[in-house]
Structure 1
Amino acid sequence: MKTKPCLTLFLFTFIRSVSAADSKIEQAVRDQDAQWSKAAESRDVDKLVSFYADDAIVLPAHAAIATTKDSIRNIFQRLLSIPGVALSWKPTK
């Protein structure tokens, strides 16, 4: 019966370490979200594009699919050149 307490301790330790890692990952994602919004707010198109992988695909409304960084850059340049347009988001959970 000694194995049950050891197993319980192992599982508790494992779950705590996974939870801590998840918290760090979550914070990293939240930080990236905030940086993306800051770049959008400042209309820094190059910074916005830097968040996208080389093989990213962007599906803009009523436009062709963007499959290159240049086409993604063009989307943001056109969008952010519209007076009064603002892009931002903030996670709520």
Structure 2
Amino acid sequence: MIGDFNEVLCDDDKFGGNHVNLNRALEFKDCLDKCNVVDLGFAGPKFTWTNRRPILSLILERIDRCFANPVWCILYPEALVTHLPRTFSDHCPVLIELCRARVNH
């Protein structure tokens, strides 16, 4: 599963604005556990969404994620998720590569 989940999992997933609602974060985590999926991690910028405000009212969040079940992880052990730089949207594009490029010598 890949996309904008509109929810953070912990305090580290947010900068600025109101405190993380821990009950909502725990409900999200519980849902992921019940679905038997794990976060695939990422490379690139930590936060995937911004409210595009000046620094004093800026909010940044990691709400775009990529999850997979254990079977998928076995099938695609080299999968790599990258948060690309934001351009026009308030979200970062998220790229998933299923296998790494092989270099021939």
Same fold (TM over 0.5): no
Q: Which has the higher strand share?
A: 2
* TM-score (ref. length: structure 2): 0.24
Q: Which has the higher helix share?
A: 1
